């Protein structure tokens, strides 16, 4: 019986690499995912947030476009959440005024950085992200944030389908359980983009 790796070897293990110009996206690093007692709490996101400050500092130092996303719904009926919020009512905490919907300390957007508000998993769905990346002449999207099995995967899939090179930074991505986290990183790397180490991405950034 072949292992998972050998089964995919030579078939689903291509590498895209970096293109000519990259942007970084930091997806939904909100306090609901890092606060114990929150229904959204995800230990992997706690670890992800710890890895982000020095990474973001280098991104800013090098002048790489940095885009942040947040989820927001409209009370009291959450109609902008559509069917998805019926499937995942835990997301109802992500409304204006709820501390769980605020950015985690150390990963907040800085003045002048693009902030996209979304209601669904993909950072592309129903947002201006494609127009923004095209205006910046970006061909590579470096993906960080949470959660691996939800918004990260959906964004990586949409990125490649829109013609961008998705690069997922392993240490800067988190989920609520290692099983879905690792399975989705494996699948993204096999079929949609590259999953590489923080050190490798920072080496690329240092070389700009």
Give a yes or no: residue 38 inside a domain.
Answer: yes
Give a yes or no: residue 87 inside a domain.
Answer: no
Task: Compute how many other C-beta atoms are within 10 angstroms of the C-beta atom of residue 197.
Answer: 12
Catalytic residue among 48, 104, 146, 151: 151
How confident is residue 1, by pLDDT bands cut at 50, 70 and 90?
low
Give a yes or no: residue 86 inside a domain.
Answer: no
CATH of the domain at 113: 3.40.50.850
Can you give the residue range of the structural domain that contains 177? Answer: 19-71+100-206
pLDDT at 187: 96
Token duo for residue 90: 């835990």
Give a yes or no: residue 4 inside a domain.
Answer: no
Task: Compute how many other C-beta atoms are within 10 angstroms of the C-beta atom of residue 161.
Answer: 12
pLDDT digits (tens, 9 = 90+) for 80-128: 999 999 999 999 999 999 999 999 999 999 999 999 999 999 999 999 9
Give a yes or no: residue 191 inside a domain.
Answer: yes
Beta bridge partners, 142, equal 24, 167
Full-model pTM: 0.95
Identify whether 104 is a catalytic site residue.
no
Give a yes or no: residue 79 inside a domain.
Answer: no
pLDDT at residue 25 greater than cutoff 90: yes
Query: What is the rounded average pLDDT of the residues 28-52?
Result: 98
Residue for token digits 């061909």? 139
Give a yes or no: residue 40 inside a domain.
Answer: yes
Domain count, the chain: 1
Give a yes or no: residue 150 inside a domain.
Answer: yes
């Amino acid at each position: 019986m072949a292992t998972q790796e050998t089964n995919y070897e030579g078939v689903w293990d291509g590498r895209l690499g970096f293109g000519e110009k990259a942007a970084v996206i930091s997806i939904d690093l909100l306090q609901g995912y890092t606060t114990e007692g929150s229904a959204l709490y995800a230990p992997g996101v706690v670890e992800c947030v710890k890895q982000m400050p020095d990474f973001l500092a280098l991104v800013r130092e090098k002048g790489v476009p940095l885009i942040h996303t947040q989820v927001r719904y409209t009370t009291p009926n959450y109609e902008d959440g559509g069917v998805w919020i019926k499937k995942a009512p835990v997301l109802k905490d992500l409304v204006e005024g709820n501390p769980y919907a605020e950015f985690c300390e150390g990963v907040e957007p800085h003045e002048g950085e693009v902030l996209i508000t979304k209601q669904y998993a993909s950072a592309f769905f129903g947002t201006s992200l494609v127009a923004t990346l095209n205006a910046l002449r970006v061909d590579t999207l470096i993906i960080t944030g949470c959660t691996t099995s939800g918004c990260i995967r959906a964004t990586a899939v949409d990125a490649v389908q829109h013609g961008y090179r998705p690069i997922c930074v392993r240490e800067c991505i988190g989920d609520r359980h290692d099983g879905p986290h690792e399975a989705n990183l494996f699948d993204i790397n096999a079929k949609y983009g590259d999953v590489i180490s923080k050190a490798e991405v920072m080496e690329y950034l240092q070389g700009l």
